[in-house]
Structure 1
Amino acid sequence: MFKIITVRDIVRIPPHRFAPREDLESVALDMVRKEYEDKITGDLGYIITVIEIIDIGIGKLLPGDGAAFHNITFKILVFKPDLYELVEGEVVEVVDFGVFIRLGPLDGLCHVSQVTDDFITYNAKNASLLGKETGKLLVASDRVRSRIVAVSIGTGGSRSGKLGLTMRQPFLGKIDWIAEEIDRNLHPEKYEKEKEEEKKKAELKGKPKRAKKKRRR
């Protein structure tokens, strides 16, 4: 997801920024940041920032151009989502067709059919999704874990694109749900007891009440 990558590229340094006016490394860092930061490329992903300059080669001049061209090696921090990768993020919006999850600089969509195996209903009043059988509730600001199942990111300066997510797999979903699922696996007897108690309550609730006998006068 987040990666530090070493890149080598030819960078043009304009004559008005030559030494001794400015330090070459500072100029190179500034030029590289203008060229790379906040951009999306197919091979690198979304480039968050240029971390540092590693090496600056000897400058070369081209006929008719007063600038110097340097081979520069530098490190960048990128956001590159990979297919089937597990990711954690915060729910930023809940709509009738699913939830949008903040994953670094981009948002992913988990369709309502991919939230849980339960039947989901949407409450427009408080912008939430609720499981009919399990009672699982999902609202904005919830922390969730999901898997990337579709990646389609634009290129250039736009952050447009698509990240498709699913939470319909074991140990995925809201962090509280995962903790409960782990606890169920570690302590099954506790949940079996609760299940039996709920069953008894349901049976008692379903039994018809006996009619009271009228006293004879």
Structure 2
Amino acid sequence: MYKRVRLTDTVEVPPEALDDVTPDLIKRLLQDKLEGRMDEEVGSIVTVTTVHDIGEGAVIPNRPGVYYKAEFDALTFDPEMQEVVDGEVVEVVSFGAFVGIGPVDGLLHVSQISDEYLAFDEEGQMLASRESNNTLGVGDAVRGRIVTKSIDERNPRESKIGLTAKQPGLGKHGWLREARQQEEAAAEGE
């Protein structure tokens, strides 16, 4: 879930920028320092939006810069357990599909996509069902539910999010659309 949060952090202003310490400079330095960072409490910091308050500068011995404490707003992405998310398949591998959900990818394991057996087509970069001819490939839009989450603050790329698409209303958007059309056609035929 995307959230706007108010945070406080300290940023180092290099000596060459000390003549003009403005909110824009502090914002840029905070963006360089924080964007893409993962935090257990607020999630992934997408961007710093507004700097509200800049404290007095502090000098640390043997350091060339001046350190300023700043209060600012940031846009974050914090995946929540059981949250339903829409995303796009960014990679297909033999054991499932990686789905881009915001600034992170979640794994949709092959066992969590469908009740049908899905075979991996390495050449076509897709998972395919022999029973229904359904396929799941790179670029497909998917709706899934977050069922596991392990956030690694030190190495955000190692964070893991597990998804399922086996519940009603979840799965590839095309499959959901086809199922809805079949239900509507059956209802009209009655």
- Asked whether the two chains share a fold, i.e. TM above 0.5, the reply is yes
Q: 75, 78, 90: which is aligned to 2:76?
A: 78
**Over the residues paired in the alignment, what is the CA RMSD in angstroms?**
2.6
Counterpart CA distance in 1 for 2:54 and 2:5 is 17
- 1:33-52 equivalences in 2 (<5 Å): 33-52=31-50
Counterpart CA distance in 2 for 1:191 and 1:127 is 38
Q: What is the CA distance between 1:159 and its match in structure 2?
A: 2.1
Contact 1:101 1:108 survives alignment (8 Å)? yes
Counterpart CA distance in 1 for 2:88 and 2:183 is 26
Counterpart CA distance in 1 for 2:60 and 2:130 is 73
Counterpart CA distance in 1 for 2:45 and 2:77 is 6
Q: What is the CA distance between 1:69 and its match in structure 2?
A: 5.2
Counterpart CA distance in 1 for 2:46 and 2:95 is 30
Q: Deviations over 1:59-84 (max 9, x none)?
A: 16568588665442111122211111
Contact 2:97 2:108 survives alignment (8 Å)? yes
In the alignment, structure 1 residue 129 sits paired with structure 2 residue 127: yes
Counterpart CA distance in 2 for 1:30 and 1:125 is 43
**Which residue of 2 is the match for residue 199 of structure 1?**
none
TM-score between the two structures when normalised by the length of structure 2:
0.84
- 1:1-217 equivalences in 2 (<5 Å): 1-13=1-13, 17-18=17-18, 21-57=19-55, 59=56, 61=58, 70-156=68-154, 158-189=156-187
Bigger shift: 1-10 or 145-154? 1-10
Q: Deviations over 1:124-151 (max 9, x none)?
A: 3323222233321112111111111111
The alignment partner of 1:75 has SS state of strand
Q: What is the CA distance between 1:189 and its match in structure 2?
A: 4.1
Counterpart CA distance in 1 for 2:60 and 2:149 is 44
Counterpart CA distance in 1 for 2:116 and 2:167 is 12
Contact 2:36 2:44 survives alignment (8 Å)? yes
Number of equivalences: 189
Q: Deviations over 1:17-47 (max 9, x none)?
A: 33xx214323322332233222111112111
The alignment partner of 1:159 has SS state of helix
Q: What is the CA distance between 1:16 and its match in structure 2?
A: 5.0
Residues 48, 117 of structure 1: alpha-carbon distance in 2 compared, 3 angstrom cutoff: same
Amino acid at match of 1:30: R
Counterpart CA distance in 2 for 1:76 and 1:61 is 24
Q: What is the CA distance between 1:85 and its match in structure 2?
A: 0.9
The alignment partner of 1:180 has SS state of helix
Bigger CA radius of gyration: 1
- Alignment identity in percent? 34
The alignment partner of 2:99 has SS state of strand
